[in-house]
C-alpha cells in the first residue's frame, strides 16, 4: 500500500457515549480525519465501542427478559450492531466534512470479524466489565449459565468478559482493496467482532478484543507507515499525576519497553496503546506510532506534537 497509509485508532472521546453525544463527537472527529486526508494520507479508521456495545448489550438483554419468546443477544451480535451504529454516524460525518472541503472521496464501513484463539489465557482471567448492574440473584443466574461476574460495589455485580489477543482479520482483503482505491475505510470497530474458526465456519465468541491491539494488527497487515492513536491526552507521560510527571516526545522501542517493565502505564488504559505502538514500530522499517488527542491529529501526524514511538 501507499507509504502514506495511516491507520487511525479512535478512542471513546472521539465518539461520545449517548446517541446525541455521538452525533456531535463524530462531526468533530470528521474534521480531524479530513485534515489527514488533506495531508495526502490514505486513511483506514478503527474505533472503540465500549459505551455503545454496553448500551446495546443491556438493551437487548432487558428486551429478552421482558419477552421470553426472544433469545438474549450474544456478545458477538452486540459487537456487530455497534460497528454498524457507530460506522453509520462516523461515515456520514466524514463524508459531509470532505464534501464541504471540495474533496470527493467515498467513505465505507466494513463489518469486520477478528479471529481469536479459544485457548487464549485471557479466558482464564476475564477483566472487561460489560452490561448493567445485577443483584445477587441475577449474578448467580449468570454464573449458572457459565458467565463470569464481578462485584463492583456492595451487593452490586456486573458481567466480565475475556479480552483475547486478535489473531487474524477476516475481511482484510476487502479493506485493502477499498483503501488501495483511495477510499476512507472504517473497519475493525471495537476491536472487531470476536469469532472462532471451526472448519470453514466462523462462530461468535463471548469476548471483547482490545481495540488498540486490533488496530495494530490492521496497520501491520496493511503495511501502513503510521499508526495514529487518538486518545484523551496530547502526549503520554511518565509518573502520571505526580510532581515528577514527564511528557514524552520521541521514544525508542527499547525505552518504551523499559517504561512498560516499570509499570508506568495503566492497564486497560494507556498500557495497551503503548504495547500496540511498540509492536507496530518493531515490525517494519519506517513504521511509526503517534499517540495524541483529536485536537492535535494533524500536528501529531507532522510530528510537531504527540508521543512518537519508532
Q: How far apart are CA 275 and CA 257, in angstroms?
A: 8
Lowest mean pLDDT of 74-78, 264-268, 282-286, 290-294, name the range: 282-286
**Tens digit of pLDDT for each residue in 180-226?**
999 999 999 999 999 999 999 999 998 999 999 999 999 999 999 99
In 3D space, the residue among 85, 127, 72, 115 whose CA is nearest the CA of residue 205 turns out to be 115
Average pLDDT across the chain, whole number: 91
In 3D space, the residue among 36, 33, 14 whose CA is nearest the CA of residue 25 turns out to be 14
Place of cell 495503566: 266
Lowest mean pLDDT of 107-116, 135-144, 168-177, 198-207, name the range: 135-144
Whether pLDDT at 158 is above 70: yes
Exposure b/e, 231-262, CB count within 10 A at least 16 = b: bebbbbbeebeeeeeeebeebebeebeebeee
What's the average model confidence in pLDDT over 108-133? Answer: 90
Lowest mean pLDDT of 140-149, 230-239, 294-303, name the range: 140-149
pLDDT at 126: 87
- DSSP per position, the chain: --TTEEEEEE-GGGT-SSHHHHHHHHHHHHHHHHHHHHTT-EEEEEE--HHHHHHHHHHHHHHHHH-TTSPPPPHHHHHHHHHHHHHHHHHHHHHHHHHHTT----EEE---EEEE-TT-GGGGS--EEEEEEE-HHHHHHHHHTT-EEEEEETTEEEEEEB-PPEEEETTHHHHHHHHHTT-EEE-SGGG-EEEEEETTEEEE-SB---HHHHHHHHHHHTT-SEEEEEES-SS-EESTTSTT-EE--EE-HHHHHHHHHTT-S-TTTTHHHHHHHHHHHHTSTT-EEEEEEGGGHHHHHTTSSSEEE-
Whether pLDDT at 91 is above 50: yes
pLDDT > 70 in the chain, percent? 99
What's the average model confidence in pLDDT over 29-51? Answer: 95
Q: How far apart are CA 91 and CA 206, in angstroms?
A: 27
Q: How far apart are CA 280 and CA 220, in angstroms?
A: 6
pLDDT at 3: 53
Whether pLDDT at 1 is above 60: no
pLDDT > 90 in the chain, percent? 69
Whether pLDDT at 29 is above 80: yes
Cell numbers standing for residue 135: 443483584
Whether pLDDT at 139 is above 90: no
| Banded model confidence at residue 2, pLDDT cuts 50, 70, 90 | very low
Amino acid at each position: 500500500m501507499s507509504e502514506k497509509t495511516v491507520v487511525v485508532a479512535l478512542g471513546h472521546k472521539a465518539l461520545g457515549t449517548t446517541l446525541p453525544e455521538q452525533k456531535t463527537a463524530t462531526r468533530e472527529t470528521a474534521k480531524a480525519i479530513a485534515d489527514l486526508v488533506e495531508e495526502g494520507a490514505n486513511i483506514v479508521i478503527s474505533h472503540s465501542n465500549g459505551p455503545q456495545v454496553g448500551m446495546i448489550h443491556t438493551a437487548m438483554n432487558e428486551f429478552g427478559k421482558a419477552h421470553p419468546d426472544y433469545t438474549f443477544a450474544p456478545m458477538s451480535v452486540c459487537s456487530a450492531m455497534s460497528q454498524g451504529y457507530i460506522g453509520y454516524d462516523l461515515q456520514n460525518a466524514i463524508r459531509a466534512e470532505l464534501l464541504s472541503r471540495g474533496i470527493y472521496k467515498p467513505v465505507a464501513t466494513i463489518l469486520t470479524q477478528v479471529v481469536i484463539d479459544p485457548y487464549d489465557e485471557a479466558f482464564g482471567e476475564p477483566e472487561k466489565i460489560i452490561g448493567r448492574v445485577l443483584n445477587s440473584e441475577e449474578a448467580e443466574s449468570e454464573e449458572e449459565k457459565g458467565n463470569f461476574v464481578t462485584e463492583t460495589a456492595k451487593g452490586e455485580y456486573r458481567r466480565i468478559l475475556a479480552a483475547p489477543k486478535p489473531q487474524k482479520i477476516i475481511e482484510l482483503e476487502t479493506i485493502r482493496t477499498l483503501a488501495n482505491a483511495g477510499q476512507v475505510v472504517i473497519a475493525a470497530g471495537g476491536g472487531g467482532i470476536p469469532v472462532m474458526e471451526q472448519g470453514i465456519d466462523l462462530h461468535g465468541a463471548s469476548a471483547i478484543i482490545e481495540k488498540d491491539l486490533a488496530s495494530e494488527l490492521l496497520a501491520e497487515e496493511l503495511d501502513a507507515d503510521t499508526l495514529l492513536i487518538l486518545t484523551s491526552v496530547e502526549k503520554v507521560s511518565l509518573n502520571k499525576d505526580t510532581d515528577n510527571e514527564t511528557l514524552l516526545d520521541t521514544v525508542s522501542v527499547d525505552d518504551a519497553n523499559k517504561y512498560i517493565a516499570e509499570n508506568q502505564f495503566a492497564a486497560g488504559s494507556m498500557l495497551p496503546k503503548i504495547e500496540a505502538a511498540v509492536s507496530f514500530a518493531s515490525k517494519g522499517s519506517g513504521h511509526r506510532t503517534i499517540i495524541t488527542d483529536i485536537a492535535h491529529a494533524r500536528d501529531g501526524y507532522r510530528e510537531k506534537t504527540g508521543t512518537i514511538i519508532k
